[in-house]
Amino acid sequence: MSNEVVLYHAENGVATVTLNRPDQRNAINPKACDAIRSAFDRVEEDPDVHIAILTGAGTLFCAGMDLKAFAGGAGDTILFGKYGFGGFVKRPRTKPVIAAVEGAALAGGFEMMLACDMVVAGTSAQFALPEVRIGLIPGAGGAVRLPVSIPRVRANEILLTGKPFGAKDAADWGVINQVTADGDALSTAQTIASDIASNAPLAVRHTLAIANQAHAENDAAHWPQNNKIIMEIGQTADAAEGARAFIEKRKPVWQGK
C-alpha cells in the first residue's frame, strides 16, 4: 500500500479519491486535509473527469478528526482551513461526488459523506455523529445538513445521542442511496458513476447545481453561527477533557464549562 495519505486514480471519466490512513482509521489530520483538497482540485480542473468517488482504504471509510492532532493544537487547521473540515465539506463543486462507505463513517467522516451527492454503503457499515460524547459539536456540517436532509426528530436523535446506526436504518431514513454486500460499495459506486459519466457533462453539472441550490442556500445561512459555536466549544475544558479521555480510553469527567 502506498504511503500517500490520499490516493487518486482517474479512468473513463471517473476519479476515485481514497483516504489512505487505514492504520489511523482514515482519521483526518492537517496533511490529509491538504491531500484531499489537492485531489478535488484535480477533479475540478481535469476536463476528462466528470464525476468522482470518495472512499477509504482498509476496513473503515473515515473515523473523523484525528483527535491526537486535535489535542496537539491542530484543530483549527483541520476544521477551518480552506473548504472546511478535510478540505472538503464546504468546497464549491461543479461535478458530482459519490461516497463509497465500508466499515464506518463517523463524526467528521460522516460529515464528509453528507457533503457528497450520493452514498453507497456495505451492509455492515455503521454511521454516527458522536461529537457530543467527547465534548464537541458536529461542526463540519452534521448539525447544518442533517436536519434538512431527513426528518428533524430523527436528525435530533442522531445528533444528540451520538449513538451509531446501521446501513439499513440509514437507507430507510434517506441518509444513503443503496446498501450493498460488504466489500461491494466501491464497485457499486463505480457502476453508478460510469452511468453518470456517460451522460452529457454540462447537463449533469447544471442539473446538479439546480438540485443542490436549496441545500447551498441553507448552508450559507447557517455556517457562520456553526463556526462561531464550534470555535467556542473547542476552547472549553470539556472539549479538552473529551479528547484526552478518548485518547486514554476512559470515561470523560465533564465540568460543564
Give the residue numbers marked as catalytic.
Answer: 111, 131
Quickly list DSSP for 22-88. Answer: GGGTT-B-HHHHHHHHHHHHHHHH-TT--EEEEEESTT-SB--B-HHHIIIIIHHHHHHSTTSGGGT
C-alpha cell at 130: 458522536
Q: Which helix (H) or strand (E) holds 17?
A: strand 14-19
Q: What is the dihedral of CA 174, 9, 207, 115, to 10 degrees?
A: 40
DSSP letter at 132? G
CA angle 71, 5, 184 (to 5 degrees): 110
Q: What is the dihedral of CA 207, 210, 213, 215, to 10 degrees?
A: -50
Task: Give all strands (DSSP E) within 125-252, no chain letters.
Answer: 126-128, 165-166, 178-180
Q: Which helix (H) or strand (E) holds 143?
A: helix 142-149
CA distance 147 to 211: 17
